[in-house]
Amino acid sequence: MPSCARYGCKRSECLEAERRAHREIHRSLRQGVQSRVPVGEANAHATLLVRAGMSPTDIANRSGISVTHVKYVIQGGVERIHRDTQDAILGIEIPPDGWEPETDGLTASTGTARRLQALSVQGFPLSALSERSGLTPRTLSELRAGLRPQVFISNMRTVLEMHEELWDRDPLEDGIPQGSVTRARDWAAKQKWQPTEAWDDIDDPGCKPQKGTPRYVILTEDAHELMESQGYSRKHAAERLGVSVAALNRAESYYKTKVA
């Protein structure tokens, strides 16, 4: 890949790819096409790769891009990137069944904090979340409070999967005592934390909470729009919305009982 050579690779095939890319860039410039593109599309795809369990190092190894630059793309550290850098990231397929990171790197903790806060809004106490996730109450507490700007990919995946399982469930139905549920909800209200459905994009640091339409309604209706109007499969619609197929199915089932 040209990006591989740009970041130091000396293999003949990568050097030749870089030369071809330069020729394409010059040709595009003559035609009025910019060689750099907005980072948004690459950022969205890289975020889905991280949600699937890939660390920045995993993405770098498969794209030929430096780990530092991958982190910039994921965390919004750049506004525009080379077109071939975008192509290299978009060329990595999202693992359909999740991914065990080869290197357990770090990623931004925004989505992890918001997911834990949302579960507290529902009434899940830290003790129950710790028992379910295997993470210590201290780790969960620091992540939930936003005291850690970054989180290990493995821990992010653990919280993401737990959130997908619990976001539409009543903790009382899971056998959690009423007193524990009330204390969790009271603490969440005191901290002014937001429920899951308040976030259009729970991982985006720039996203502002919106109150109103429940998340299960948004997921179900957006998925149907993608599948019926744009021809997405259920799997690809779930990927586009940043959830698993199982989470989308639960949202749709809940939607049918509450709305349909």
**Mean per-residue pLDDT of the chain:** 82
**For residue 102, is pLDDT > 70?**
no
**For residue 180, is pLDDT > 90?**
yes
pLDDT recorded at residue 163: 93
Taking residues 235-251, report their average pLDDT: 80
Per-residue tokens: 245 = 């197929």
**For residue 14, is pLDDT > 80?**
no
**CA gap 241, 218 in Å, rounded:** 10
For the stretch 192-231, pLDDT in tens is 999 887 887 788 888 888 766 677 788 888 889 888 888 8
pTM: 0.57
Per-residue tokens: 16 = 């030749």
How does DSSP classify residue 200? Answer: S
**For residue 83, is pLDDT > 90?**
no
- Give me the DSSP letters along 66-85: -HHHHHHHHHT--SEEEHHH
**For residue 110, which amino acid is it?**
T
Of all residues in the chain, what percent carry a pLDDT higher than 70?
Answer: 83
pLDDT recorded at residue 43: 87
**Residue 159 burial (CB count, 10 A):** 25
Per-residue tokens: 171 = 């903790």
**For residue 170, is pLDDT > 70?**
yes
**For residue 3, is pLDDT > 80?**
no
**For residue 34, is pLDDT > 80?**
no
